[in-house]
Amino acid sequence: MKLQTTAALALLLFLLLAPPALRVSMAGSGFCDGKCTTRCSKASRHDDCLKYCGICCAACGCVPSGTAGHKDECPCYRDMTTGHGNRTRPKCP
């Protein structure tokens, strides 16, 4: 049991410290990668945008068109949030 916990913690640590490009490629598929590249093309924090877009796309299976807005095209993407209570913010770019 302790070995499984240690392995799980090591994997989590690796994923948190992995380069952003690795995290994005792991989170998405060819569909998500292409859609998120378009969505994040004008983002000031490009790597963060790709990371969160990839996570949201993998969970929802869609990404709104364009570089901003249009979130009503994908309600799941629009409604994903981070945090709880007073610190809740939209998760998907």
Domain that holds residue 49: 19-90
* 8 inside domain: no
The per-residue DSSP string of 21-81 comes to HHHHHHH--HHHHHHHHHHTTT-SSHHHHHHHHHHHHHHHS---SSSS--GGG-HHHHH-E
Contacts of 92 (CB under 8 A, 6+ apart): 52, 53, 55, 56, 71, 77, 78, 80
> Whole-model pTM above 0.75?
no
Q: What string of pLDDT tens digits covers the 93 residues of the chain?
A: 666 677 666 666 565 665 554 444 444 478 999 999 999 999 999 999 999 999 999 999 999 999 999 999 999 999 999 877 787 888 899
* 84 inside domain: yes
**Which of 13, 19, 92, 34 minimizes the C-alpha distance to 60?**
92
* 23 inside domain: yes
| Domains identified in the chain, total number | 1
